[in-house]
Chains A and B, each alone.
Chain A
Amino acid sequence: DIQMTQSPSTLSASVGDRVTITCRASQSISGWLAWYQQKPGKAPKLLIYRASSLESGVPSRFSGSGSGTEFTLTISSLQPDDFATYYCQQYNRYSWTFGQGTKVEIK
């Protein structure tokens, strides 16, 4: 099975900061990677699909990049509503794996 490793596990940042979260796959997954945001007690919300495509309705301050085994989620200017946990997710041949999550906290 493909393993997904996110870093960092926790990130402390201030409103207005540029934030980058990294997700590494144990083998190449081409571009089949998605990013989700989850707030406490809520279901995950899709932000980015196919590594770099922004889901409809998601603010443009979110962006994704990468291919192969290394991917990043960037928030260009952190807003109060962005403090949450972020997960990457890969799909490969009917196998789905999530990263362990990155919690973005208020500094």
Chain B
Amino acid sequence: EVQLVESGGGLVKPGGSLRLSCGASGFTFSSYSMNWVRQAPGKGLEWVSYISSSSSTIYYADSVKGRFTISRDNAKNSLYLQMSSLRADDTAVYYCARWSGSYSSFDYWGQGTLATVSS
């Protein structure tokens, strides 16, 4: 069974940093591209970042470019999102999601972890 489990969320002050993690199991993690997608409270879904299976290709949404860094460790079946210079509008539930390139869709999602940016 495919499982994605996020962790690392919490309360941080504006300008601070937070590192999110996503542990994967039930599939060959090193064969899949992965993404982070976020959802502000009461709002819709926003794609945040993409990383290819080998980490050779990385993309970011304009809203986080230069502040967030996506990475992965295929040996540990883990995906990461380092978030810095955090702002109040970064407050959201952050989901890791597996990308199915063949089907151009996010086929599995974690349960999400809440990051709250507030003074």
* A interface residues with partner B (beta carbon < 8 Å): 1, 32-34, 36, 38, 42-46, 49-50, 53, 55, 87, 89, 91, 94-101
Contact = CB atoms under 8 A, between A and B. Distances in A.
B104 A44 contact: no
Contacts of A99: 44
Interface of B: 35, 44-47, 50, 57, 59, 62, 95, 100, 103-112
Contacts of A98: 44-47
**Which are the 5 A-B pairs with shortest beta-carbon distances?**
A34-B105, A96-B47, A43-B109, A49-B105, A49-B103
Contacts of A100: 44
Contacts of A1: 62
Contacts of B104: 32-34, 49-50, 91
A18 B44 CA distance: 24
Most buried by A among B62, B105, B109, B110: B105
30 contacts: A1-B62, A32-B104, A34-B103, A34-B105, A34-B106, A42-B111, A43-B109, A44-B95, A44-B106, A45-B109, A46-B107, A49-B100, A49-B103, A49-B104, A49-B105, A53-B103, A55-B107, A89-B105, A91-B104, A91-B105, A94-B50, A95-B59, A96-B35, A96-B47, A96-B50, A98-B45, A98-B46, A98-B47, A101-B44, A101-B45
A78 B115 CA distance: 35
Contacts of A101: 44-45
B interface SS class = strand
Contacts, number: 58
Nearest to B52: A94
B109 to A, nearest CB: 4
Contacts of B106: 34, 36, 44, 46, 89
A89 to B, nearest CB: 7
Contacts of A55: 107
Given A98-B44, A101-B44, A46 B105 contact: yes
Contact of A87 (B44, B110, B111): B44
A46 B47 CA distance: 15
